[in-house]
């Protein structure tokens, strides 16, 4: 095993003064709009492996126009948050799980695997210089966006032999404009997000590029996210554009689509499954047809539906709409089980409840 990377840290001037930054952190943060003062960059090439780890000023990248990422989309990313606890300490949630997923994404996209320890260390390095950017307002966090690109200047179609890993960070509030209010979801009937044998289980930019047109269609229909069905039969739920999905049955069962090979294995999803088991709920990871959702909501057998992910946390789904149907009531209050699971998860993340599964890591 290689020695840990030695970082070169080049501190920059702060873009905002302390008072301005604190005012910004206390306001409406939204999602992904402002970025901290620094970023991490680590180089990789086939001969030297990972090297030249740096923390430097946040700013534009200089990239050869022939860089493979710009032509063939060889890119992967992660999403993970840092939380400020009441005593001021800064923690993150299950970082080894994100590090392992980045490795799986790298394997699928023929990119190099960053050791999980180096993934966690890269978050620590950024927080060490930008800790003042971790907000303390309720339910706020610092969202890390680690990503890796094929930076080799070569137009032949093969796995790049030069890659760069970066981490940027952005103070975050609610992902959806209406906070935790129930959202409407649009069923994508014409487009799939992923293919059998494709890259659906990897967190790569191309999956999101493919989701943008259906996402636009959703927004045109007054919905805030799009639901994709399985790409083979077009019958079974997969996930939303950027979130996993759960159904809560009136009899206490919690159901989520099984990992099909084409959906992203969400870390929030796995945590929710654990918290539900802890509560004594019956959890089912299995195929769920769109007809089961429609009929279950119509009959009342399905009491609640929610989406979950790092950015979205746990967001109630009030309504599902498609070309010729609508089920659910967007004006109904968020479901009790949804909100209880949301509270349990965020209490652990924000240090208000015991971390009984050892999920939290201090940064």
- If one asks whether residue 188 binds ligand PLP (CB under 6 A), the answer comes out as no
Which CB, 289 or 346, lies closer to ligand COI? 346
Candidate residues 21, 79, 83, 288; the one interacting with ligand COI per rule CB under 6 A: 79
Please report, as residue ranges, which positions from 220 to 249 form the binding site for ligand PLP (by CB under 6 A).
Answer: 239, 242-244
Terminal C-alpha separation, the chain: 23
Interface segment toward ligand COI; rule CB under 6 A; list 45-53, 60-68, 93-101, 305-313: 305-313
- 219: how many CB neighbours lie within 10 A of its CB? 13
Element (H, E) at 337: helix 336-349
Stretch that binds ligand COI, among 17-25, 56-64, 307-315, 331-339 (CB under 6 A): 307-315
Nearer to ligand PLP, 78 or 304 (CB): 78
Return all residues near 23 (Cβ < 8 A) that are at least 6 apart.
none
SS3 211: helix
Find the binding residues for ligand PLP in span 299-328 (CB under 6 A): 309-310
Asked whether position 171 contacts ligand COI by CB under 6 A, the answer is no
262 binds, among ligand PLP, ligand COI, none (CB under 5 to 8 A by kind): none
The token pair that represents 146 in the structure block: 């680690």
Q: How far apart are CA 164 and CA 159, in angstroms?
A: 13
Where b means 16+ CB within 10 Å and e means fewer, 297-328 reads beeeebbbbbbbbbbbbbbbbbbbbbeeeebb
Bridge-based pairing state of the strands 237-240 and 360-362: unpaired
**Residue 309 Cβ vs ligand COI, minimum distance, rounded to whole Å:** 4
Contact 308, 267 (CB under 8 A): no
Residue 270 Cβ, how far from ligand PLP at the closest point, in Å?
8
- Residue 182 contacts which entry, ligand COI, ligand PLP, none (Cβ below 5-8 A, type-dependent): none
DSSP run (H or E) holding 286: strand 282-286
Total residues interacting with ligand PLP, rule: CB under 6 A: 12
Select the residue interacting with ligand COI from 310, 315, 338, 349 (CB under 6 A): 310
122 binds, among ligand COI, ligand PLP, none (CB under 5 to 8 A by kind): none
Residues at the interface with ligand COI (CB under 6 A): 79, 242, 309-311
């Amino acid at each position: 095993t290689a020695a840990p990377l030695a970082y070169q840290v080049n501190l920059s001037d702060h873009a905002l003064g302390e008072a301005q930054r604190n005012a910004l952190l206390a306001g409406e943060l939204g999602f992904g709009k402002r970025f901290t003062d620094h970023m991490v960059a680590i180089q990789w090439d086939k001969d030297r492996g990972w090297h030249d780890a740096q923390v430097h000023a946040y700013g534009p990248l200089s990239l050869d126009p022939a860089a493979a990422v710009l032509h063939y989309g060889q890119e992967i990313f992660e999403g993970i948050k840092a939380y400020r606890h009441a005593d001021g300490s800064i923690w993150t949630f299950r970082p080894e799980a994100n590090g392992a997923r980045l490795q799986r994404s790298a394997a699928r996209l023929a990119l190099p695997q960053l050791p999980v320890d180096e993934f966690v260390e890269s978050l620590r390095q950024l927080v060490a210089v930008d800790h003042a950017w971790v907000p303390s307002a309720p339910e706020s966090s610092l969202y890390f966006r680690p990503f890796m690109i094929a930076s080799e200047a070569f137009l032949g179609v093969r796995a790049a032999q030069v890659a760069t890993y970066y981490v940027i960070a952005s103070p975050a509030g609610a992902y959806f404009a209406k906070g935790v209010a129930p959202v409407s979801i649009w069923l994508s009937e014409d487009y799939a997000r992923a293919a059998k044998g494709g890259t659906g289980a990897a967190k790569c930019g191309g999956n999101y590029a493919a989701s943008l047109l259906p996402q636009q269609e959703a927004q045109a229909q007054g919905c805030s996210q799009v639901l994709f069905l399985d790409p083979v039969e077009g019958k079974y739920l997969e996930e939303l554009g950027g979130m996993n999905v759960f159904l809560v049955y009136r009899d206490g069962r919690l159901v989520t689509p099984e990992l099909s090979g084409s959906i992203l294995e969400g870390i929030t999803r796995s945590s929710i499954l654990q918290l539900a088991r802890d509560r004594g709920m019956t959890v089912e990871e299995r195929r769920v047809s769109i007809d089961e959702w429609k009929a279950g909501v119509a009959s009342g057998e399905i009491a609640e539906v929610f989406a979950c992910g790092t950015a979205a946390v746990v967001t109630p789904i009030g309504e599902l709409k498609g070309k010729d149907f609508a089920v659910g009531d967007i004006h109904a209050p968020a479901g009790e089980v949804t909100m209880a699971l949301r509270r349990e998860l965020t209490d652990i993340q924000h240090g208000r409840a015991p971390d009984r599964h050892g999920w939290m890591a201090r940064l």
